[in-house]
Structure formats: C-alpha cells, structure tokens
C-alpha cells in the first residue's frame, strides 16, 4: 500500500491546504485528498509540484508499506 506523507511535510513547514493550493496551482480537492491520504491515484505533475514546493524527493512524499495479511 502506498501512503502519502503530505501532512507531515505540511506540518514541518507549517503550511495549510490553501497555502499548498496557492503555491502549486493544484486543486483544493486534490491537496485535501493527499493530505488525508485518501487519494486513489496521483499524477506525475502533481508529484513534481509537491516535491518542488517542499524541496523533497518522491520517497519523502510517498512511502510503500506492505499490507498485513
């Protein structure tokens, strides 16, 4: 399972959802879904904008976690 760590990055930089929307041009719904880790998919352009804004790698934004069986 892939987890989005946007909320951690936002907390680190003290950013609100609206701040991220304003600085990246991403839709509020997109950012909110990623923040709440409820997104079903994510576009490469979205990843690129978020990594650029937070000066992070893809691995710092997204994390793979094995499912517990």
Q: What is the mean pLDDT of each run of 10 residues along the chain (69 residues)?
A: 96 98 98 96 97 97 88
pLDDT confidence of residue 47: 98
Output the domain CATH number for residue 37: 1.10.260.40
Q: How many structural domains comprise the chain?
A: 1
CA distance 27 to 3: 20
In a domain, 20, yes or no: yes
Return the SS3 of 7: helix
In a domain, 69, yes or no: no
Can you list the pairs that 10-15 forms with residues at least 24 positions away whose Cβ atoms lie under 8 Å?
10/35, 13/54
Host domain of residue 8: 2-64
């Amino acid at each position: 399972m892939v987890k989005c760590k946007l909320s951690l990055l936002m907390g680190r930089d003290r950013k609100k959802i609206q701040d991220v929307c304003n600085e990246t041009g991403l839709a509020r719904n997109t950012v909110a879904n990623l923040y709440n880790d409820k997104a079903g998919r994510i576009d490469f352009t979205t990843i690129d904008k978020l990594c650029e804004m937070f000066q992070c790698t893809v691995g710092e934004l997204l994390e793979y976690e094995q499912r517990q069986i």
